[in-house]
Structure 1
Protein backbone atom coordinates (compact mmCIF):
# COMPACT_ATOMS: atom_id res chain seq x y z
CA UNK A 1 0.00 0.00 0.00
CA UNK A 2 1.36 3.43 -0.96
CA UNK A 3 2.41 5.74 1.86
CA UNK A 4 -0.13 8.57 1.92
CA UNK A 5 2.32 10.75 3.85
CA UNK A 6 5.62 10.11 2.01
CA UNK A 7 7.54 13.16 3.21
CA UNK A 8 8.56 14.64 6.54
CA UNK A 9 10.70 17.58 7.59
CA UNK A 10 13.74 17.12 9.82
CA UNK A 11 15.58 20.22 11.00
CA UNK A 12 14.10 22.29 8.17
CA UNK A 13 14.85 19.79 5.40
CA UNK A 14 12.11 18.02 3.43
CA UNK A 15 12.98 14.31 3.31
CA UNK A 16 11.39 11.04 2.19
CA UNK A 17 9.86 9.48 5.27
CA UNK A 18 11.12 6.05 4.21
CA UNK A 19 14.75 7.08 4.71
CA UNK A 20 14.42 9.85 7.32
CA UNK A 21 16.24 9.22 10.59
CA UNK A 22 17.67 10.75 13.73
CA UNK A 23 20.71 9.38 15.54
CA UNK A 24 20.81 6.84 18.34
CA UNK A 25 22.20 9.41 20.78
CA UNK A 26 19.11 11.63 20.65
CA UNK A 27 17.79 12.53 24.11
CA UNK A 28 14.20 11.70 23.17
CA UNK A 29 15.25 8.11 22.54
CA UNK A 30 17.61 7.79 25.49
CA UNK A 31 15.90 9.88 28.17
CA UNK A 32 12.39 10.51 26.88
CA UNK A 33 13.14 14.25 26.88
CA UNK A 34 11.22 16.34 24.38
CA UNK A 35 8.03 18.22 23.61
CA UNK A 36 5.54 18.18 20.78
CA UNK A 37 2.32 19.66 19.49
CA UNK A 38 -0.37 18.35 17.21
CA UNK A 39 -3.08 20.07 15.19
CA UNK A 40 -5.64 19.28 12.52
CA UNK A 41 -5.67 20.26 8.89
CA UNK A 42 -9.17 20.28 7.39
CA UNK A 43 -9.85 21.10 3.74
CA UNK A 44 -6.21 22.19 3.51
CA UNK A 45 -6.59 24.70 6.36
CA UNK A 46 -4.47 24.27 9.52
CA UNK A 47 -6.87 24.84 12.43
CA UNK A 48 -5.77 27.12 15.29
CA UNK A 49 -2.18 26.94 14.10
CA UNK A 50 -1.19 30.15 15.92
CA UNK A 51 -2.41 28.80 19.26
CA UNK A 52 -0.67 25.47 18.72
CA UNK A 53 2.61 27.14 17.81
CA UNK A 54 2.45 29.40 20.86
CA UNK A 55 1.87 26.36 23.06
CA UNK A 56 4.82 24.61 21.40
CA UNK A 57 7.01 27.64 22.10
CA UNK A 58 5.86 27.65 25.73
CA UNK A 59 6.58 23.93 26.13
CA UNK A 60 10.03 24.32 24.59
CA UNK A 61 10.88 27.28 26.83
CA UNK A 62 9.80 25.40 29.95
CA UNK A 63 11.97 22.43 28.96
CA UNK A 64 14.99 24.67 28.13
CA UNK A 65 14.83 23.73 24.44
CA UNK A 66 15.99 26.62 22.26
CA UNK A 67 13.96 26.85 19.06
CA UNK A 68 13.09 29.59 16.59
CA UNK A 69 9.86 31.32 17.60
CA UNK A 70 9.13 32.94 14.24
CA UNK A 71 5.56 31.74 13.73
CA UNK A 72 5.53 32.75 10.05
CA UNK A 73 8.64 30.69 9.39
CA UNK A 74 7.02 27.68 11.03
CA UNK A 75 3.84 28.16 9.00
CA UNK A 76 5.86 28.29 5.78
CA UNK A 77 7.69 25.08 6.69
CA UNK A 78 4.43 23.32 7.57
CA UNK A 79 2.82 24.46 4.32
CA UNK A 80 5.79 23.05 2.40
CA UNK A 81 5.12 19.66 3.99
CA UNK A 82 1.37 19.85 3.35
CA UNK A 83 2.04 20.62 -0.30
CA UNK A 84 4.58 17.80 -0.65
CA UNK A 85 2.17 15.28 0.87
CA UNK A 86 -0.87 16.70 -0.98
CA UNK A 87 -2.67 16.95 2.34
CA UNK A 88 -6.27 18.13 2.63
CA UNK A 89 -7.36 16.41 5.84
CA UNK A 90 -4.72 15.20 8.26
CA UNK A 91 -2.95 15.70 11.55
CA UNK A 92 0.37 17.55 11.81
CA UNK A 93 2.82 16.64 14.56
CA UNK A 94 5.80 18.79 15.51
CA UNK A 95 8.32 16.99 17.72
CA UNK A 96 11.20 18.81 19.41
CA UNK A 97 13.85 16.68 21.10
CA UNK A 98 16.79 17.67 23.29
CA UNK A 99 19.20 16.61 20.56
CA UNK A 100 22.46 14.69 20.77
CA UNK A 101 23.92 14.87 24.27
CA UNK A 102 27.60 13.91 24.33
CA UNK A 103 27.27 12.71 27.92
CA UNK A 104 23.80 11.20 27.47
CA UNK A 105 22.33 13.50 30.12
CA UNK A 106 22.26 17.11 28.98
CA UNK A 107 20.31 19.38 26.66
CA UNK A 108 21.88 19.90 23.26
CA UNK A 109 20.75 21.52 20.00
CA UNK A 110 17.19 20.26 19.40
CA UNK A 111 16.17 17.98 16.59
CA UNK A 112 12.87 19.10 15.07
CA UNK A 113 10.70 16.62 13.22
CA UNK A 114 7.46 17.55 11.44
CA UNK A 115 5.17 14.82 10.12
CA UNK A 116 1.65 14.46 8.79
CA UNK A 117 -0.62 11.54 9.54
CA UNK A 118 -4.17 10.35 9.01
CA UNK A 119 -6.68 11.61 11.54
CA UNK A 120 -8.17 8.79 13.63
CA UNK A 121 -11.63 7.70 12.52
CA UNK A 122 -14.34 8.69 14.98
CA UNK A 123 -16.48 5.88 16.38
CA UNK A 124 -20.07 7.05 15.96
CA UNK A 125 -21.24 4.97 18.93
CA UNK A 126 -18.85 6.86 21.21
CA UNK A 127 -20.49 10.15 20.27
CA UNK A 128 -24.09 8.94 20.38
CA UNK A 129 -23.77 6.90 23.59
CA UNK A 130 -20.72 8.34 25.33
CA UNK A 131 -17.70 6.49 26.67
CA UNK A 132 -16.71 4.77 29.90
CA UNK A 133 -13.64 5.87 31.87
CA UNK A 134 -11.84 4.88 35.03
CA UNK A 135 -10.15 7.19 37.53
CA UNK A 136 -6.52 6.95 38.65
CA UNK A 137 -4.56 8.91 41.23
CA UNK A 138 -1.67 10.56 39.43
CA UNK A 139 -0.24 14.00 38.71
CA UNK A 140 1.86 14.60 35.60
CA UNK A 141 5.22 16.30 35.99
CA UNK A 142 5.19 19.85 34.60
CA UNK A 143 1.53 19.53 33.56
CA UNK A 144 1.54 22.80 31.59
CA UNK A 145 4.05 21.25 29.16
CA UNK A 146 3.02 19.03 26.25
CA UNK A 147 5.90 16.61 26.72
CA UNK A 148 6.49 13.30 24.96
CA UNK A 149 6.23 11.41 28.27
CA UNK A 150 3.01 9.36 28.26
CA UNK A 151 4.37 6.54 30.42
CA UNK A 152 1.53 6.41 32.95
CA UNK A 153 -1.27 6.62 30.40
CA UNK A 154 0.22 3.85 28.27
CA UNK A 155 1.02 1.73 31.36
CA UNK A 156 -2.66 1.98 32.34
CA UNK A 157 -3.98 0.70 28.99
CA UNK A 158 -4.38 -2.93 30.16
CA UNK A 159 -6.24 -1.74 33.28
CA UNK A 160 -8.50 0.49 31.18
CA UNK A 161 -9.25 -2.39 28.82
CA UNK A 162 -9.90 -4.81 31.70
CA UNK A 163 -12.51 -2.38 33.04
CA UNK A 164 -14.20 -2.21 29.64
CA UNK A 165 -13.39 1.48 29.52
CA UNK A 166 -11.98 3.77 26.84
CA UNK A 167 -9.89 6.22 28.86
CA UNK A 168 -8.74 7.33 32.31
CA UNK A 169 -9.19 10.54 34.29
CA UNK A 170 -6.35 11.59 36.57
CA UNK A 171 -6.82 13.08 40.02
CA UNK A 172 -4.50 13.99 42.90
CA UNK A 173 -5.23 15.34 46.39
CA UNK A 174 -8.94 14.90 45.67
CA UNK A 175 -8.75 17.22 42.63
CA UNK A 176 -9.45 16.09 39.07
CA UNK A 177 -6.89 17.30 36.51
CA UNK A 178 -7.16 15.76 33.03
CA UNK A 179 -6.96 12.57 31.02
CA UNK A 180 -3.69 11.58 29.31
CA UNK A 181 -4.70 13.22 26.02
CA UNK A 182 -7.78 15.30 26.85
CA UNK A 183 -9.16 18.00 29.10
CA UNK A 184 -12.20 17.28 31.26
CA UNK A 185 -15.39 19.27 31.83
CA UNK A 186 -18.17 18.72 34.38
CA UNK A 187 -21.73 20.08 34.31
CA UNK A 188 -22.92 20.19 37.91
CA UNK A 189 -26.49 19.79 39.13
CA UNK A 190 -26.96 23.58 39.03
CA UNK A 191 -26.10 23.57 35.32
CA UNK A 192 -22.73 25.31 35.69
CA UNK A 193 -19.89 24.10 33.49
CA UNK A 194 -16.73 23.42 35.51
CA UNK A 195 -13.24 22.63 34.27
CA UNK A 196 -9.94 22.37 36.17
CA UNK A 197 -7.85 25.53 36.21
CA UNK A 198 -4.58 24.10 37.52
CA UNK A 199 -2.27 21.08 37.14
CA UNK A 200 -3.24 20.22 33.58
CA UNK A 201 -2.33 21.02 30.00
CA UNK A 202 -4.38 23.92 28.66
CA UNK A 203 -5.77 22.39 25.50
CA UNK A 204 -6.55 24.42 22.41
CA UNK A 205 -9.94 22.72 22.05
CA UNK A 206 -10.55 23.41 25.75
CA UNK A 207 -10.07 27.12 25.08
CA UNK A 208 -12.46 27.04 22.13
CA UNK A 209 -15.07 25.24 24.23
CA UNK A 210 -14.75 27.77 27.06
CA UNK A 211 -15.37 30.64 24.64
CA UNK A 212 -18.36 28.92 23.04
CA UNK A 213 -19.82 27.70 26.33
CA UNK A 214 -19.87 31.19 27.83
CA UNK A 215 -22.58 32.06 25.29
CA UNK A 216 -24.82 29.25 26.56
CA UNK A 217 -24.16 28.43 30.22
CA UNK A 218 -22.40 29.67 33.35
CA UNK A 219 -18.73 28.66 33.20
CA UNK A 220 -16.18 28.31 35.99
CA UNK A 221 -12.48 27.45 35.68
CA UNK A 222 -11.84 26.19 39.18
CA UNK A 223 -10.81 23.25 41.32
CA UNK A 224 -12.92 20.24 40.35
CA UNK A 225 -13.12 17.62 43.09
CA UNK A 226 -13.71 13.90 42.84
CA UNK A 227 -17.08 14.61 44.49
CA UNK A 228 -17.91 17.07 41.69
CA UNK A 229 -17.09 14.31 39.21
CA UNK A 230 -19.14 11.66 41.03
CA UNK A 231 -22.17 13.95 41.41
CA UNK A 232 -22.04 15.50 37.94
CA UNK A 233 -25.08 15.77 35.71
CA UNK A 234 -22.78 15.60 32.67
CA UNK A 235 -19.09 14.97 32.00
CA UNK A 236 -17.20 15.32 28.74
CA UNK A 237 -13.61 15.42 27.51
CA UNK A 238 -12.09 17.56 24.78
CA UNK A 239 -9.10 17.27 22.46
CA UNK A 240 -7.95 18.16 18.96
CA UNK A 241 -8.89 14.77 17.52
CA UNK A 242 -11.90 13.98 19.72
CA UNK A 243 -13.54 17.39 19.69
CA UNK A 244 -16.13 17.00 22.47
CA UNK A 245 -16.78 13.46 23.67
CA UNK A 246 -19.34 12.61 26.35
CA UNK A 247 -18.36 10.50 29.35
CA UNK A 248 -21.40 8.52 30.49
CA UNK A 249 -19.82 5.98 32.85
CA UNK A 250 -17.10 6.57 35.47
CA UNK A 251 -15.65 3.62 37.40
CA UNK A 252 -18.62 1.53 36.35
CA UNK A 253 -21.25 4.02 37.55
CA UNK A 254 -23.46 6.09 35.22
CA UNK A 255 -23.06 9.84 34.91
CA UNK A 256 -26.47 11.49 35.25
CA UNK A 257 -28.95 9.38 33.31
CA UNK A 258 -26.15 7.50 31.56
CA UNK A 259 -26.60 9.31 28.24
CA UNK A 260 -24.88 12.33 26.65
CA UNK A 261 -26.42 15.41 28.26
CA UNK A 262 -28.10 18.49 26.88
CA UNK A 263 -25.17 20.87 27.47
CA UNK A 264 -22.69 18.39 25.99
CA UNK A 265 -24.76 17.91 22.84
CA UNK A 266 -25.32 21.66 22.51
CA UNK A 267 -21.59 22.34 22.73
CA UNK A 268 -20.74 19.53 20.32
CA UNK A 269 -22.95 21.23 17.74
CA UNK A 270 -21.55 24.68 18.57
CA UNK A 271 -17.94 23.47 18.17
CA UNK A 272 -18.73 21.83 14.84
CA UNK A 273 -20.36 25.04 13.60
CA UNK A 274 -17.40 27.07 14.87
CA UNK A 275 -14.94 24.94 12.88
CA UNK A 276 -17.08 25.27 9.76
CA UNK A 277 -17.08 29.05 10.17
CA UNK A 278 -13.29 29.10 10.54
CA UNK A 279 -12.87 27.07 7.35
CA UNK A 280 -15.32 29.26 5.44
CA UNK A 281 -13.56 32.44 6.60
CA UNK A 282 -10.13 31.05 5.66
CA UNK A 283 -11.33 30.14 2.17
CA UNK A 284 -12.86 33.56 1.60
CA UNK A 285 -9.48 35.29 1.98
Structure 2
Protein backbone atom coordinates (compact mmCIF):
# COMPACT_ATOMS: atom_id res chain seq x y z
CA UNK A 1 0.00 0.00 0.00
CA UNK A 2 1.43 3.38 -1.03
CA UNK A 3 2.17 6.23 1.35
CA UNK A 4 0.88 9.74 0.59
CA UNK A 5 1.55 13.17 2.01
CA UNK A 6 -1.57 14.85 3.42
CA UNK A 7 -0.83 18.22 5.00
CA UNK A 8 1.76 17.40 7.68
CA UNK A 9 1.03 13.66 7.89
CA UNK A 10 1.92 10.52 5.95
CA UNK A 11 -1.13 8.37 5.26
CA UNK A 12 -2.14 5.23 3.37
CA UNK A 13 -4.70 4.90 0.56
CA UNK A 14 -7.61 4.18 2.86
CA UNK A 15 -6.84 7.20 5.07
CA UNK A 16 -7.06 9.83 2.32
CA UNK A 17 -9.97 12.24 2.60
CA UNK A 18 -10.31 15.47 0.61
CA UNK A 19 -13.36 17.68 1.06
CA UNK A 20 -15.70 18.16 -1.89
CA UNK A 21 -15.50 21.86 -1.00
CA UNK A 22 -11.75 21.99 -1.59
CA UNK A 23 -11.06 25.11 -3.68
CA UNK A 24 -8.71 23.14 -5.91
CA UNK A 25 -11.73 21.06 -6.93
CA UNK A 26 -14.01 24.08 -7.38
CA UNK A 27 -11.69 26.65 -8.92
CA UNK A 28 -8.29 25.09 -9.62
CA UNK A 29 -7.25 27.42 -6.80
CA UNK A 30 -3.81 26.00 -6.10
CA UNK A 31 -0.31 25.27 -7.32
CA UNK A 32 1.82 22.19 -7.86
CA UNK A 33 5.28 20.82 -8.66
CA UNK A 34 6.74 17.63 -10.15
CA UNK A 35 10.24 16.58 -9.03
CA UNK A 36 12.27 13.82 -10.69
CA UNK A 37 13.93 11.07 -8.65
CA UNK A 38 17.13 9.39 -9.84
CA UNK A 39 18.72 6.64 -7.76
CA UNK A 40 16.49 7.55 -4.83
CA UNK A 41 17.73 11.16 -4.96
CA UNK A 42 15.59 14.19 -5.74
CA UNK A 43 16.95 16.15 -8.73
CA UNK A 44 16.91 19.97 -8.40
CA UNK A 45 14.61 19.67 -5.37
CA UNK A 46 15.49 23.08 -3.94
CA UNK A 47 14.65 24.80 -7.23
CA UNK A 48 11.32 23.02 -7.57
CA UNK A 49 10.32 23.68 -3.97
CA UNK A 50 11.34 27.34 -4.23
CA UNK A 51 9.16 27.68 -7.33
CA UNK A 52 6.25 26.02 -5.50
CA UNK A 53 6.47 28.67 -2.78
CA UNK A 54 6.92 31.44 -5.35
CA UNK A 55 3.80 30.29 -7.19
CA UNK A 56 1.88 30.15 -3.90
CA UNK A 57 3.00 33.68 -3.05
CA UNK A 58 1.91 34.95 -6.47
CA UNK A 59 -1.65 33.75 -5.80
CA UNK A 60 -1.46 35.11 -2.23
CA UNK A 61 -1.50 31.72 -0.54
CA UNK A 62 0.56 31.14 2.61
CA UNK A 63 1.67 27.53 2.97
CA UNK A 64 1.51 26.11 6.51
CA UNK A 65 5.19 25.20 6.75
CA UNK A 66 8.47 26.29 5.20
CA UNK A 67 10.57 25.11 2.28
CA UNK A 68 13.05 23.10 4.35
CA UNK A 69 10.30 21.14 6.08
CA UNK A 70 8.64 20.56 2.72
CA UNK A 71 11.90 19.15 1.35
CA UNK A 72 12.25 16.79 4.34
CA UNK A 73 8.67 15.57 3.90
CA UNK A 74 9.16 14.93 0.18
CA UNK A 75 12.39 13.04 0.87
CA UNK A 76 10.60 10.91 3.45
CA UNK A 77 7.79 10.28 0.96
CA UNK A 78 10.36 8.94 -1.52
CA UNK A 79 11.94 6.71 1.14
CA UNK A 80 8.63 5.40 2.47
CA UNK A 81 7.52 4.39 -1.03
CA UNK A 82 10.90 2.90 -1.95
CA UNK A 83 11.18 5.05 -5.09
CA UNK A 84 14.49 4.58 -6.87
CA UNK A 85 13.53 6.07 -10.26
CA UNK A 86 10.42 8.13 -10.91
CA UNK A 87 8.94 11.38 -9.65
CA UNK A 88 7.09 13.11 -6.83
CA UNK A 89 3.94 15.20 -7.38
CA UNK A 90 3.15 17.85 -4.74
CA UNK A 91 0.03 20.04 -4.76
CA UNK A 92 -1.23 22.83 -2.52
CA UNK A 93 -4.76 24.24 -2.67
CA UNK A 94 -6.18 27.19 -0.77
CA UNK A 95 -8.23 24.80 1.36
CA UNK A 96 -11.84 23.71 1.87
CA UNK A 97 -14.53 26.36 2.28
CA UNK A 98 -18.05 27.15 1.06
CA UNK A 99 -18.05 27.95 -2.65
CA UNK A 100 -17.59 31.69 -3.10
CA UNK A 101 -15.09 33.23 -5.49
CA UNK A 102 -13.30 35.49 -3.00
CA UNK A 103 -10.68 34.04 -0.67
CA UNK A 104 -11.98 32.29 2.46
CA UNK A 105 -11.13 33.60 5.92
CA UNK A 106 -7.72 33.24 7.54
CA UNK A 107 -8.98 30.25 9.53
CA UNK A 108 -9.00 28.15 6.34
CA UNK A 109 -5.70 26.32 6.01
CA UNK A 110 -4.22 25.27 2.63
CA UNK A 111 -4.39 21.56 1.82
CA UNK A 112 -1.11 19.93 0.77
CA UNK A 113 -1.02 16.54 -0.92
CA UNK A 114 1.81 14.53 -2.44
CA UNK A 115 2.43 11.16 -4.03
CA UNK A 116 5.20 9.27 -5.85
CA UNK A 117 5.28 7.41 -9.14
CA UNK A 118 7.97 4.90 -10.13
CA UNK A 119 9.24 4.39 -13.70
CA UNK A 120 12.61 3.63 -15.31
CA UNK A 121 15.07 6.48 -15.71
CA UNK A 122 16.66 6.99 -19.12
CA UNK A 123 19.33 9.36 -20.36
CA UNK A 124 18.44 12.11 -22.84
CA UNK A 125 18.93 9.98 -25.94
CA UNK A 126 15.31 9.97 -27.00
CA UNK A 127 14.13 9.29 -30.49
CA UNK A 128 13.00 12.56 -32.09
CA UNK A 129 9.34 13.50 -31.73
CA UNK A 130 6.96 15.61 -33.79
CA UNK A 131 5.01 18.71 -32.74
CA UNK A 132 1.80 20.40 -33.82
CA UNK A 133 1.41 24.16 -33.46
CA UNK A 134 -1.67 25.23 -31.49
CA UNK A 135 -2.89 28.73 -30.64
CA UNK A 136 -1.95 29.63 -27.06
CA UNK A 137 -5.24 30.58 -25.38
CA UNK A 138 -4.02 30.37 -21.77
CA UNK A 139 -4.31 33.17 -19.24
CA UNK A 140 -1.67 35.90 -18.90
CA UNK A 141 0.13 34.44 -15.84
CA UNK A 142 1.78 31.34 -17.26
CA UNK A 143 4.73 31.99 -14.91
CA UNK A 144 2.56 30.59 -12.09
CA UNK A 145 2.53 26.80 -11.94
CA UNK A 146 -1.16 26.69 -11.13
CA UNK A 147 -3.72 23.91 -11.29
CA UNK A 148 -5.54 25.75 -14.11
CA UNK A 149 -4.39 23.53 -16.97
CA UNK A 150 -7.51 23.10 -19.09
CA UNK A 151 -6.08 25.08 -22.03
CA UNK A 152 -2.90 22.99 -21.81
CA UNK A 153 -4.93 19.78 -21.76
CA UNK A 154 -6.96 20.84 -24.81
CA UNK A 155 -3.80 21.75 -26.75
CA UNK A 156 -2.08 18.48 -25.84
CA UNK A 157 -5.17 16.50 -26.86
CA UNK A 158 -5.34 18.27 -30.23
CA UNK A 159 -1.72 17.36 -30.91
CA UNK A 160 -2.19 13.80 -29.63
CA UNK A 161 -5.22 13.14 -31.82
CA UNK A 162 -3.17 14.01 -34.89
CA UNK A 163 -0.32 11.70 -33.86
CA UNK A 164 2.06 14.26 -32.37
CA UNK A 165 3.98 14.10 -29.10
CA UNK A 166 3.44 17.67 -27.97
CA UNK A 167 1.68 20.93 -28.79
CA UNK A 168 3.87 23.90 -29.74
CA UNK A 169 1.97 26.89 -28.38
CA UNK A 170 1.98 30.27 -30.08
CA UNK A 171 0.20 33.58 -29.56
CA UNK A 172 -0.83 34.86 -32.99
CA UNK A 173 2.29 33.36 -34.56
CA UNK A 174 4.74 34.07 -31.72
CA UNK A 175 5.98 30.82 -30.14
CA UNK A 176 5.78 30.66 -26.36
CA UNK A 177 6.31 27.09 -25.08
CA UNK A 178 4.73 23.64 -25.14
CA UNK A 179 1.62 22.45 -23.34
CA UNK A 180 3.92 20.86 -20.73
CA UNK A 181 7.41 21.82 -21.88
CA UNK A 182 9.79 24.60 -22.90
CA UNK A 183 10.89 24.98 -26.52
CA UNK A 184 14.30 25.68 -28.10
CA UNK A 185 15.34 26.17 -31.71
CA UNK A 186 18.89 26.16 -33.11
CA UNK A 187 19.91 28.21 -36.13
CA UNK A 188 23.50 28.59 -37.36
CA UNK A 189 24.77 27.21 -34.04
CA UNK A 190 22.78 29.67 -31.90
CA UNK A 191 19.94 28.60 -29.59
CA UNK A 192 16.73 30.61 -29.66
CA UNK A 193 14.10 30.42 -26.91
CA UNK A 194 11.36 32.59 -25.46
CA UNK A 195 12.58 34.87 -22.64
CA UNK A 196 11.38 34.42 -19.08
CA UNK A 197 8.14 36.38 -18.72
CA UNK A 198 4.51 35.97 -17.74
CA UNK A 199 3.92 34.13 -21.04
CA UNK A 200 5.94 31.03 -20.10
CA UNK A 201 6.76 28.90 -17.10
CA UNK A 202 10.48 29.14 -16.39
CA UNK A 203 11.01 25.38 -16.32
CA UNK A 204 13.54 23.92 -13.91
CA UNK A 205 14.92 21.72 -16.70
CA UNK A 206 15.03 24.86 -18.86
CA UNK A 207 17.21 26.47 -16.18
CA UNK A 208 19.54 23.46 -16.08
CA UNK A 209 19.85 23.60 -19.88
CA UNK A 210 20.72 27.30 -19.69
CA UNK A 211 23.44 26.42 -17.15
CA UNK A 212 24.74 23.79 -19.57
CA UNK A 213 24.83 26.41 -22.33
CA UNK A 214 26.98 28.66 -20.15
CA UNK A 215 29.36 25.80 -19.34
CA UNK A 216 29.64 24.85 -23.03
CA UNK A 217 30.00 28.48 -24.21
CA UNK A 218 26.90 27.84 -26.28
CA UNK A 219 25.35 31.07 -27.63
CA UNK A 220 21.71 31.63 -26.64
CA UNK A 221 19.30 34.36 -27.70
CA UNK A 222 16.30 34.76 -25.41
CA UNK A 223 13.67 36.47 -27.52
CA UNK A 224 10.32 35.43 -29.00
CA UNK A 225 10.46 33.20 -32.09
CA UNK A 226 8.04 33.53 -34.99
CA UNK A 227 6.32 30.29 -35.94
CA UNK A 228 7.39 30.75 -39.56
CA UNK A 229 11.04 31.00 -38.44
CA UNK A 230 10.73 27.83 -36.37
CA UNK A 231 10.10 25.76 -39.50
CA UNK A 232 13.53 26.82 -40.83
CA UNK A 233 15.53 25.93 -37.72
CA UNK A 234 18.52 23.61 -38.12
CA UNK A 235 17.63 21.81 -34.88
CA UNK A 236 14.78 21.92 -32.40
CA UNK A 237 14.28 20.38 -28.96
CA UNK A 238 11.96 20.57 -25.98
CA UNK A 239 12.60 20.20 -22.25
CA UNK A 240 10.55 19.08 -19.25
CA UNK A 241 11.04 17.60 -15.80
CA UNK A 242 9.77 14.14 -16.70
CA UNK A 243 11.56 13.86 -20.06
CA UNK A 244 14.73 15.95 -19.79
CA UNK A 245 15.77 17.01 -23.30
CA UNK A 246 13.78 15.65 -26.24
CA UNK A 247 14.85 16.34 -29.87
CA UNK A 248 12.19 17.31 -32.41
CA UNK A 249 12.18 15.96 -35.97
CA UNK A 250 9.24 17.86 -37.47
CA UNK A 251 6.74 20.61 -36.71
CA UNK A 252 3.39 20.75 -38.50
CA UNK A 253 4.70 18.13 -40.93
CA UNK A 254 7.75 20.22 -41.84
CA UNK A 255 11.05 18.41 -41.18
CA UNK A 256 13.58 20.16 -38.98
CA UNK A 257 17.14 19.81 -40.33
CA UNK A 258 17.73 16.19 -41.32
CA UNK A 259 15.16 14.97 -38.82
CA UNK A 260 17.77 13.71 -36.38
CA UNK A 261 19.26 15.28 -33.21
CA UNK A 262 21.82 17.88 -34.29
CA UNK A 263 25.25 18.56 -32.76
CA UNK A 264 24.03 21.31 -30.43
CA UNK A 265 21.17 19.16 -29.13
CA UNK A 266 23.44 16.15 -28.65
CA UNK A 267 26.04 18.22 -26.77
CA UNK A 268 23.36 19.58 -24.45
CA UNK A 269 21.86 16.12 -23.83
CA UNK A 270 25.28 14.85 -22.80
CA UNK A 271 25.91 17.87 -20.57
CA UNK A 272 22.47 17.52 -18.97
CA UNK A 273 22.98 13.82 -18.25
CA UNK A 274 26.27 14.59 -16.50
CA UNK A 275 24.32 16.67 -13.98
CA UNK A 276 22.03 13.84 -12.93
CA UNK A 277 22.61 12.36 -9.46
CA UNK A 278 23.38 8.89 -10.88
CA UNK A 279 24.23 7.57 -14.35
CA UNK A 280 21.17 6.42 -16.29
CA UNK A 281 20.82 4.19 -19.30
CA UNK A 282 20.26 5.50 -22.79
CA UNK A 283 17.13 4.53 -24.70
Fold conserved between structures, TM > 0.5: yes
Q: Once the 2 structures are TM-superposed, how far is the Cα of residue 153 of structure 1 from its aligned partner? A: 2.6
Alpha-carbon contact 2:237-2:247 (below 8 Å) kept: yes
Q: Does 1:17 align with 2:24?
A: no
Tell me if structure 2 keeps the 8 A contact 1:27–1:105: no
Change over 3 Å in CA distance of 1:149–1:122 after alignment to 2: farther
Mapped to 2, the partners of 1:62 and 1:8 lie a distance apart of 26
SS class of match (1:187) = strand
- Distance in 2 (alpha carbons) for counterparts of 1:226 and 1:158: 20
TM superposition score normalised by structure 1:
0.88
Is the Cα–Cα contact under 8 Å of residues 33 and 98 in structure 1 kept in the other structure? Answer: yes
Name stretches of at least 5 consecutive residues in structure 1 with no aligned partner: 281-285
Structure 1 residue 103: deviation in Å?
A: 3.4
Q: Which has the higher contact order (CA 8 A, sep 6+)?
A: 2
Structure 1 residue 158 displacement after superposition: 4.3
Q: Is the 8 A contact 1:39 1:49 kept in 2?
A: yes
Matches of 1:157 and 1:182 in 2, distance apart? Answer: 11
Corresponding residue pairs, total: 271
1:104–1:175 Cα change, 3 Å: same
Offset at residue 121 of structure 1 (A):
7.0
Q: Which residue of 1 aligns with 2:219?
A: 218
Within a 5 Å distance, the mapping from 1:34-113 to structure 2 comes to 34-68=30-64, 70-108=66-104, 109-113=109-113
**Superposition RMSD in Å:** 2.1
> Which whole-Å deviations, capped at 9, do the CAs of 1:48-83 have from their partners, x for residues lacking one?
111001100111011111114622211221222222
**What's the offset of the Cα at 1:232?**
0.7
Quote how far apart the aligned CAs of 1:89 are: 2.0
| 1:147-162 equivalence runs, <5 A | 147-162=146-161
- Give a deviation string over 1:83-124, Cα, whole Å, max 9, x none: 221222221111011211223423342100011112477699
Structure 2 length-normalised TM: 0.89
CA gap 1:211/1:20 in 2 versus in 1, 3 angstroms:
same
Question: Which one has the bigger helix percentage?
Answer: 1
Match of 1:268 in 2: 269
Structure 2: 5+ residue stretches without partners: none
Provide the secondary structure at the position in 1 that maps to 2:37: strand
